[in-house]
Amino acid sequence: MNKDRPLVIGRKKLRSRLFLGTGKFRNKHELAACIKACGTEVVTVALRRIDLKRHRENILEYIPKNVNLLVNTSGARTAREALRIARIAKAAGYGNWIKVEVINDSKYLLPDNAETLKAVRMLADEGFVALPYMFPDLYFAREMAKAGAAAVMPLGSCIGTGMGLQAKEFIKIIVEEIDVPVVVDAGLGVPSHAAEAMEMGVDAVLVNTAVATAGAPVKIARGFALAVNAGRLAYLSAPQKPLEEASPSSPLSGFLFEDKK
């Protein structure tokens, strides 16, 4: 695998590897400032938060035209419901990029991989650019890629928890085995979590709650952008492997005060 491959989704080459969600922001002006601060090129929006009448409070008015809109199927409990939401979004003119989110669990909000896979198959058949949000399971990731997923989006930890990469080892396996881009979605709480994910070799990360609920959203949005870039550079640099014993960076012999023979 080419470690330095560009990030291409739906035939679009993306420079930014940070995706931003739009829920929970205190106001839309703050959202717009965060989009600008982090330089994201992909923003996710739940269809139910889009005002189809397009009045001045419509969230789409605060998203730059050059940013790719990734409509998510939030609220869908079945593959059929996800497909219906995607069709409505496309008919309304919001494009064909869909974050496939099918959740039946109301306590932990874990994605239903089986229904998500069904949705990916149907969406891909209709020409949608499908990015499924999924529990990090290698078998389902493989099947979603085969079904036509443009990327897979395994969770780092439960939505909104900020607990970081609780599923780290399973995500590593997906990164090693799947050819489509891997985007870590959900649970990243601070920029260091994003850097850690990128150091593993994931292609991008998506954050929402961590930015929207921070005391200074614009600052942390910028922090996440810097962390993503730092983590990507670390991954490409073939960093040092951990050692079990100390290894001096300077020689421990030849000091000036040693007796010369």
Total tally of structural domains belonging to the chain: 1
Instruction: Establish if 2 belongs to a structural domain.
Output: no
Instruction: Establish if 243 belongs to a structural domain.
Output: no
CATH number for the domain that contains residue 195: 3.20.20.70
Instruction: Establish if 260 belongs to a structural domain.
Output: no
Q: Which residues are catalytic?
A: 99
Query: What is the pLDDT, as a whole number, of residue 58?
Result: 78
Average pLDDT over residues 12-17: 95
Asked if 110 and 103 count as a contact pair (C-beta separation under 8 A), the reply is yes
The single-letter DSSP state of residue 183 is E
> 54 lies in which domain range?
13-236
Nearest to 64 by CA among 34, 96, 32, 89: 32
Query: What is the pLDDT, as a whole number, of residue 61?
Result: 83
- Is the pLDDT assigned to residue 3 strictly greater than 80? no
Instruction: Establish if 259 belongs to a structural domain.
Output: no
For 117-155, give one letter per residue: b (16+ CB within 10 A) or e: bbbbbbbbeeebbbbbbbebbeebbbbbbebbbbbbbbb
**pLDDT category of residue 253 using cuts at 50, 70 and 90:** low
Instruction: Establish if 216 belongs to a structural domain.
Output: yes
Q: Dump pLDDT digits (tens) for 166-210.
A: 999 999 999 999 999 999 999 999 999 999 999 999 999 999 999
Instruction: Establish if 92 belongs to a structural domain.
Output: yes
Instruction: Establish if 85 belongs to a structural domain.
Output: yes
Asked if 22 and 43 count as a contact pair (C-beta separation under 8 A), the reply is yes
Query: What is the pLDDT, as a whole number, of residue 72?
Result: 94
Instruction: Report d(CA 127, CA 148) in Å as an integer.
Output: 9
Asked if 204 and 18 count as a contact pair (C-beta separation under 8 A), the reply is yes
Instruction: Establish if 3 belongs to a structural domain.
Output: no
